[in-house]
Structures are given as structure tokens and as C-alpha cells.
Amino acid sequence: MDHFHDGQHVRLRSRVHDTYYLHADDDGESVSISRRRYSLNAAWTVHIYHGDGSHLLLHGAAYGRYLAAAAKPAPFGHHGFRAEQRDYDEPVLAAIMWQAVDAGSGDGVLLRNIGGRYLRASGKLRRYLRWNARVGVEYTDNVSAMMHWIVEPIRPRARPPLIPGPIRTRVPGDLSVIMLGRKPGGWRRIRFVRASDEGLYNEDGWSALRIRGRSVYHLRNALASRVGDIDIHGQRRDMVMCVRAGLYGRLTPLVVNLPHGRYGETLDIVVMLSGTPGESLPPCQNSELPIYPMEARSEQCTDFGVDTFCCTAMIFFFLVLFKWGADLLVFEK
């Protein structure tokens, strides 16, 4: 356990696939290896569990869910069983408890679940087959190089990261829904509680709301209208959102858009007001997030399929094509 310290942020790099890192996928469930080194999805927070001995727990810096050895068989072409992200919803949860074993190679470690299965990377990577980059767990007496991980500590950042700007969510009235049959953005149930200035909150004080889509920007606005405070100058105070992945999960600052999947499930958010003592207390200490920029990417047409803008452009294209065809027929006559 010398490579891991409670509350520390780390990356885990595959020794074989040297530029690939253990990655909490955007669906909020899968785990893969990815070259997106500068993504929060490639950062993991160390949680040392002290019970019957000490065990290593790792929860993602993006969604707060814990790295787990699942009971589901690995997809076709992979060894053993699946690795996944899951909530910490039981006091003692064997699936998320790991032992770090020295691999005898500098910063290299083996991650062995207390059930005896080792975390391993995929043996074959193909650029355009994302499923082939999945991470799994395997029972074995013959430890392979695919199970070796290099631990890279991440230093904390000086200032809290900014959340991404708003992204558009498809609604039932959009042209892409009406004309192309696309599904509108799904509804998500948010359970939230306002923490005191000291960072404490009451388990009986949770409220709920629903939002459509996955924009963290819209989520913050919705929560601000429900729990925001007014300072002595009459201005609304800013706030920090912390996601709690399970009753026993540690709080994680939420600064990325919500997962693509998991619609229909409930997301627990603890809200703290900026400038209060509770904001600076671990484990939801915003300034302790890893010091690298968020990856920017266009979400207009990729995350929700063809939106109204794209659909309008397609209609315009077909109208031009139709007019060109009609003019051509007139010319031939």
C-alpha cells in the first residue's frame, strides 16, 4: 500500500499499453483503458478502508463511483469477468476492496480484489473498436504483464475547476424527434441536501427534483434555485456540488457533465455554499481536484445524436437537392 495514500489522486497507467490509463467511462458504469490522460475520468481518488485489515478503494474523480470487480462475465474476446463502476452502498462491500501488491518493477503494482481476482487490461487494442479496450478481472496463478499498473500521483490544483458550459438537450418538440424519430433526453432524478456551513448534513433532510439530460450547468442552476442563499449584499452565493455514490461513498466534487447512461436511477448531491468552512473540508474539497484542464469537445451532435440544428441543415440540403433536380427536369424538357 506504499504507493497509495488516503485522499490522494492518482492515475493508473498500463505497463504494456504505455500511453493508456485506467478510465471511468462516460456511461457511469464501464471501465476501460484510454489515452485521455488529461480527463478527470482517468483520475482516481484513494480511499483506504480500515476494518478487518486495511484495503484499497478507488473512486473516480469524475462521478465518484468505485472501481469494482463484477460477477458478470467479460464480453466476448476478453478474459475473466468485467470491471465496473458501482456505488458503495453496503458497509463492507467485497467487490470494491482491493489489495495493492508490489509487482517488483518500480512504481508497478498488481491490483487484486479481496475475492482473489486481478485487474487486467485488454490484450489487444484496435483504434476503432472501443469495446476492445475494456478492463476486466481474472482469477489466475500466472500473473501476466497485462495486470501491471504504474501508479502516477497527481498534484492538487491551486483553484477549483470551472464546470463546463450548457449543452443542449433534445426535447419532444425538436425536429429531430418529430421527423427522425430520435429519443428526447432522458429524465434523471436528483436527490439533494444542503450541508451546513460546517459541512454537515442530515440524512433525513433530502429533497428531490428531476432534470432532463446530462448538463451539469443546468443541474447547478436548478439546485441554486432551490437551495441558494443570499449574502449581506443581496447577491446569490455560489455553491459546490458533491456527488455521493452510495450511502457509504465519499463525497466527490461534481464538475463534469452527468453520465450518458443511468437514466432512471437516482443521483445524490450534497450542496455546500462557497466560502463556508465546510467547502474547504475533505472529502469534498474542490481545490484538491487534479491540476489539469478539462477536455473540451463538441456535444451538440455527438452526445444526443442529430439535434435541431443538424436536422434543419439536413432539411435545407434536401430542399436544395430537390430544387436542383426539378430545375434539371425542366431544362431537359
- The predicted model scores a pTM of 0.81
Residue 64 has pLDDT above 80, yes or no: yes
Chain region(s) in the chain for CATH 2.80.10.50: 9-154
Residue 270 has pLDDT above 60, yes or no: yes
Q: How many CB atoms lie within 10 A of CB 115?
A: 14
Half-sphere exposure (CA, 13 Å, Cβ side) for 22? 34
129-181 tens-digit pLDDT: 455 678 989 888 778 888 999 999 998 876 767 888 988 877 777 767 677 77
Query: Which amino acid is it at 283?
Result: P
pLDDT (mean) for 219-236: 72
Say if residues 28 and 188 touch (Cβ distance below 8 Å): no
Q: How many CB atoms lie within 10 A of CB 9?
A: 20
Residue showing cell 490544483: 157
193-208 tens-digit pLDDT: 999 888 889 999 999 9
* Average pLDDT of the chain, as a whole number: 80
By CB atoms closer than 10 A (0-12, 13-18, 19+), residue 152 is: middle
Question: The domain 9-154 is classified under which CATH number: 2.80.10.50, 1.20.120.1730, 3.40.50.2300, 2.60.40.2310?
Answer: 2.80.10.50
What does the block give as the cell for 77? 474476446
Say if residues 213 and 167 touch (Cβ distance below 8 Å): yes
DSSP for 268-289 reads: EEEEEETTSGGGGSTTS-GGGS
pLDDT at 210: 93
Phi/psi region, residue 148 (left: phi>0; alpha: psi -120 to 50; beta: rest), is: beta
